[in-house]
């Protein structure tokens, strides 16, 4: 059975003025620490290369484009790929993707331990809104800057583990985990940037925000008998706070590693993927217990309909 040491590379804030080179230096430093800790698969956050720019309303295409990558790897990120290959650490990280056709996605890639990109995921559940909203304490314009992912929820066998990815708000949706669980996923990697303040409910508070993150990640792990890694970009970006709370969750739903800071911080857990088998063959043996004939609404309708 496969064992793999999994790392989460939580990143502290990235200011708008920070260059890609500066960010990549920090990511490589985390990679070096991960190597010393024996990590074989390292997960970085969503939009790891830039500040969380959807908090700003922008109209100038050039200003927007500056946050996007046209190629991956590219000149800026090549040192990260090169060092990962040398250290034989598979990595995943998120970035804003601008395609040759001019399409924009909130994307994450996965490499094998030879530094080759073997998987790409584009965020499906974009939160927020698309136009300036004067009623919010800050903007959350993901629906403005990205289109919803068009690649579904794929899995890949990487380092002999069935891996899937999701991004930030995807983690709150049980559909995400289930689509991956139905493909036998054993490790789900989820980077996020979550504002510490709910832009529509200021009183919610950091503690409740962290609780919701944990709850979603832990339920997804347990209900699909899979490891889940949630990795934050955290701290104060140009005055806007992001939650930390990066965790690694085992297939029983138990948190086995947790970040303590809101800065660049490595969390590590040795994972024995044999642990996925118990849940998948007993209480969550989907073939024996699921009843899709009663789940029709989940795919037949988008929004809620109140008919009583």
Structure tokens at 19: 């260059």
Q: Which one of residues 22, 182, 236, 277 is an interface residue with a copy of itself (CB under 8 A)? A: 182
Which is the catalytic residue, given 97, 168, 237, 265?
168
Which is the catalytic residue, given 40, 46, 97, 265?
46
Angle between the 78-87 and 20-36 helix axes, to the nearest 10 degrees? 10
Active site residue 265: no
Whether the upstream peptide bond of residue 42 has omega within 30° of 0, thus cis, is no
Min dist. Cβ of residue 105 to a copy of itself (A): 13
Nearer Cβ to a copy of itself (61/303): 303
CA distances from 166 to 2, 17, 260 (A): 22, 28, 23
203 belongs to the binding site for a copy of itself (CB under 8 A):
no
Active site residue 262: no
Active site residue 46: yes
Nearer Cβ to a copy of itself (149/191): 149
- 246 within 8 A of 231, measured Cβ to Cβ: yes
User: How far out from the chain centre does Cα 200 lie?
Assistant: 23
Part of the chain binding a copy of itself (CB under 8 A), chosen from 75-83, 100-108, 257-265, 281-289 = 281-289
Sketch the per residue contact string, 206 through 245, with a copy of itself: x for CB under 8 A, - otherwise.
Answer: --x--xx--xx-xx--xx----------------------
Query: Rounded to whole angstroms, how far apart are CA atoms 80 and 157?
Result: 22
298 belongs to the binding site for a copy of itself (CB under 8 A):
yes
81 belongs to the binding site for a copy of itself (CB under 8 A):
no
Min dist. Cβ of residue 259 to a copy of itself (A): 21
CB atoms within 10 A of CB 242: 27
Q: Which one of residues 18, 65, 133, 252 is an interface residue with a copy of itself (CB under 8 A)? A: 252
Which is the catalytic residue, given 40, 97, 120, 123?
123
Query: Rounded to whole angstroms, how far apart are CA atoms 234 and 246?
Result: 9
162 belongs to the binding site for a copy of itself (CB under 8 A):
yes
Contact residues toward a copy of itself (CB under 8 A) are 124-127, 148-149, 152-153, 155-157, 162, 169, 172-175, 177-179, 181-184, 200-201, 208, 211-212, 215-216, 218-219, 222-223, 252-254, 278, 280, 282-292, 294-308
Q: What positions carry a catalytic annotation? A: 46, 123, 168
């Amino acid at each position: 059975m496969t064992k793999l040491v999994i790392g989460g590379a939580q990143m502290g804030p990235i200011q708008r003025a920070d260059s890609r080179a500066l960010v990549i230096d920090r990511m490589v430093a985390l990679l070096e620490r991960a190597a010393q800790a024996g990590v074989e698969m390292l997960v970085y956050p969503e939009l790891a290369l830039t500040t969380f720019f959807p908090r700003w309303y922008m109209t100038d295409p050039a200003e927007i484009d500056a946050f996007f990558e046209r190629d991956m790897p590219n000149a800026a990120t090549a040192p990260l790929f090169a060092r990962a290959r040398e250290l034989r650490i598979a990595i995943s990280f998120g970035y804003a993707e601008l395609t040759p056709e001019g399409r924009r996605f909130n994307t994450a890639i996965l490499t094998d331990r030879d530094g080759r990109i073997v998987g790409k995921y584009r965020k499906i559940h974009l939160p927020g809104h698309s136009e300036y909203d004067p009623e919010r304490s800050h903007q959350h314009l993901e629906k403005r800057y990205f289109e919803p992912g068009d690649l579904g929820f794929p899995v890949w066998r990487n380092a002999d583990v069935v891996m899937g990815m999701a991004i930030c708000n995807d983690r709150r949706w049980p559909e995400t985990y289930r689509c991956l669980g139905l493909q036998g996923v054993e490790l789900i990697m989820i980077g996020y940037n979550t504002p510490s303040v709910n832009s529509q409910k200021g009183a919610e508070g950091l503690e409740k925000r962290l609780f919701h993150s944990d709850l979603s990640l832990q339920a997804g792990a347990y209900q699909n008998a899979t490891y889940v890694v949630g990795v934050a970009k955290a701290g104060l970006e140009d005055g806007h706070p992001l939650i930390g709370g990066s965790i690694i969750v085992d297939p029983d739903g138990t948190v086995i590693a947790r970040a303590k800071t809101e800065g660049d911080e490595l969390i590590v857990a040795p994972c024995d993927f044999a642990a996925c088998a118990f849940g998948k063959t007993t209480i969550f043996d989907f073939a024996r217990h699921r009843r899709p004939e009663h789940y029709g609404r989940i795919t037949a309708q988008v929004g809620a309909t109140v008919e009583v």
